[in-house]
């Protein structure tokens, strides 16, 4: 299902490396605000069929991030909140 929705021609499409596996996803920055401090946080949206966990390393466009949080959406996707 994920491969039918996510297409390499889509804006934000990336081939990320998570735990030495190549994973297709959509990469973006989302606005967050905590305790009156705001900014943008990197997020990778992937299929929930992959096995990942907090603190795994994600490499996107030769930059490394660490998984800070996993937010499954209940529709087959996980928003992977990244630090880095």
Every domain of the chain and the residues it spans: 2-83
More confident residue, 81 or 32: 81
Could you say which architecture CATH assigns to the domain 2-83?
Answer: Beta Barrel (2.40)
| The two structure tokens encoding residue 60 | 């996107």
Q: Are 33 and 44 in contact (CB under 8 A)?
A: no
pLDDT at residue 4, as a whole number: 60
pTM: 0.86
* CA atoms of 42 and 38, how far apart (whole Å): 13
Query: Quick one: pLDDT band at residue 37, thresholds 50, 70, 90?
Result: confident
């Amino acid at each position: 299902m994920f491969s039918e929705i996510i297409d390499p021609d889509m804006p934000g499409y990336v081939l990320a490396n998570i735990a030495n596996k190549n994973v297709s996803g959509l990469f973006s920055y989302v606005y967050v605000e905590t305790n009156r401090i705001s900014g943008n946080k990197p997020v990778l949206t992937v299929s929930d069929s992959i096995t990942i966990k907090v603190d795994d390393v994600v490499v996107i466009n030769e930059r490394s991030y660490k998984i800070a949080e996993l937010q499954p959406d209940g529709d087959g996707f996980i928003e992977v909140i990244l630090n880095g």
